[in-house]
A and B are shown apart, each in its own frame.
Chain A
């Protein structure tokens, strides 16, 4: 009896998430509608992230034609792309800018989806795949950062991997050795070297793209299946056809995004924001230049990591991750107004740490000494 009811409940659950009667072109494309209200701009962010992902795929494939993933040649091949290949600097700069823009869009997408309560039943799977995509995107950022094999890349990766090992001091007994084993497994050898580069390359170019394609497929499929979430408390006065109206507007946003990306990539080298010694070839026997930092989108964990004890960060980020994964159930009955305030707080934290993290760091640590 109880087994039967459990199975029945599971079946009902799946039926609600994947309604068979909606699995057709008519209801997924022709009938789908997008609500029009004052938060409607949030509906464009996911599409913008998708656009930048497409740019990443195209430019990434182009870079793949020249890049060489070996310790001796990686930096030289990147230099070759920038200095000798026609349009190579543009393609590479586009890849850098587009990655940053994609991550900005993904984070804004996360916050607006949260504020609109887009995780509400039956959209739990959409939310979960979205969180998975967020982690994959950060994974792309972390692995791609190492590939040019310059000073900042190798040293920042060392620091990032070393912090895994620090978890060990909070684990009891034999388990204390596990994080070290995990780090060395990721690295492939005792120090960051050729094995690490090969692994990161494989992960960046093959593993993550496949994982992303699978998750993204499921994500987009469920978005089309369940339609756009309502977004606001009171029912919207107007609806807009997804096809072709919203799609055309989405394409217009893509057009503007492309122009902005092209302008930035053509006129402003991504590397000009940091001092040049960071982009010299990594030299294992030389000194480490000043100013080793992760990419800006990791500042929100990096600066707290610098300021607070490691244990606090560990517990904090663990809780945050758990909260992200459990959001559809934790905030099931929270009003959209409260969610909006929470999202604003989250956005303020992220922006504050990204823009003023360094200043905050200097205030607490005293004048950069």
Chain B
């Protein structure tokens, strides 16, 4: 067990530095999410850069400062769960996964990505849009963007959350419609009275 644990970070570090055929860090997860949800996603679901960690853009390995490099290496050493990981190439969600599961588990899950949502905290909701992160993973929507989610789920959650402004507006609309209907009726009455008057005065 021990020698294997030591070798893993080394392999990972190598994989990060060498320009490999796969620019996507763990395409297995991405492939599974797309297949499961039917919604296209990119690396930005867990990574800092939409095109993954390799490259020279912001949030990619080619552009890390030495302090960020240290954080990256710390994250790579987080084999076991529970370490407070703040990897610069991952976003908040990616860091949460690594902190919670540990790199060993993440690598194991590569073989069966469909297990990933079940291993996450079922109530954690990083973007506070009302859809838990694990569910967003199943849906193929972004766990850090509150405007991204399955439309119906978002609608129900937001409607519940904004009940009082909705009720207020509904009350205002109802009052306005009532008022307008009454006005309409009033005008009709006034017109009838006027007609009556002209008819009456028309008589000798």
A and B touch in the complex (CB under 8 A): yes
Binding site for B on A (CB under 8 A): 82, 89, 241, 244-245, 248-249, 251-252, 255-256, 258-259, 262-263, 266-269, 271-273, 275-277, 279-280, 283, 285-287, 289-291
Q: Which of B40, B57, B165, B170 contacts A275 (CB 8 A)?
A: B40
Contact B177 A280 (CB under 8 A): no
Q: Give the interface centre of A241, A256, A277, A279 by most chain B CB atoms within 10 Å.
A: A277
Contact B41 A267 (CB under 8 A): no
Contact A286 B50 (CB under 8 A): yes
Q: Which of A241, A268, A276, A286 contacts B41 (CB 8 A)?
A: A276
Contact B165 A266 (CB under 8 A): yes
Q: A80 to chain B: closest CB distance in Å?
A: 14
Q: B152 to chain A: closest CB distance in Å?
A: 9
**Could you list 16 A-B pairs, sorted by A, with CB under 8 Å?**
A248-B180, A248-B187, A252-B181, A255-B177, A259-B173, A263-B169, A266-B162, A267-B155, A267-B166, A268-B154, A268-B155, A269-B146, A272-B151, A276-B44, A283-B57, A289-B42
Bound complex: CA A27 to CA B119 (Å): 74
Q: A290 to chain B: closest CB distance in Å?
A: 5
Q: B157 to chain A: closest CB distance in Å?
A: 8
Bound complex: CA A286 to CA B177 (Å): 52
What is the interface of chain A mostly: helix, strand, loop, or mixed?
helix
* Size of interface on B: residues with Cβ below 8 Å to A: 37
User: Chain A residues near B141 (CB, 8 Å)?
Assistant: 272, 276
Contact B180 A252 (CB under 8 A): yes
9 cross-chain pairs, A with B, having the tightest CB-CB distances, nearest first: A269-B147, A267-B158, A259-B173, A277-B42, A276-B142, A276-B148, A290-B40, A275-B40, A267-B159
Contact B41 A263 (CB under 8 A): no
Q: A96 to chain B: closest CB distance in Å?
A: 10
Extra contacts besides A249-B184, A273-B151 (15): CB < 8 Å: A82-B147, A248-B180, A251-B180, A262-B166, A263-B166, A267-B154, A267-B158, A268-B151, A268-B155, A272-B154, A275-B41, A276-B41, A276-B141, A277-B42, A280-B50
Q: A48 to chain B: closest CB distance in Å?
A: 15
Bound complex: CA A238 to CA B147 (Å): 49
Bound complex: CA A251 to CA B184 (Å): 11
Q: B185 to chain A: closest CB distance in Å?
A: 10
Q: Is B149 an interface residue (CB 8 A)?
A: yes
Bound complex: CA A128 to CA B197 (Å): 44
Q: Contacts A244-B183, A245-B187, A267-B155 hold; do A277 and B41 have CB atoms under 8 A apart? A: yes
Q: B72 to chain A: closest CB distance in Å?
A: 21
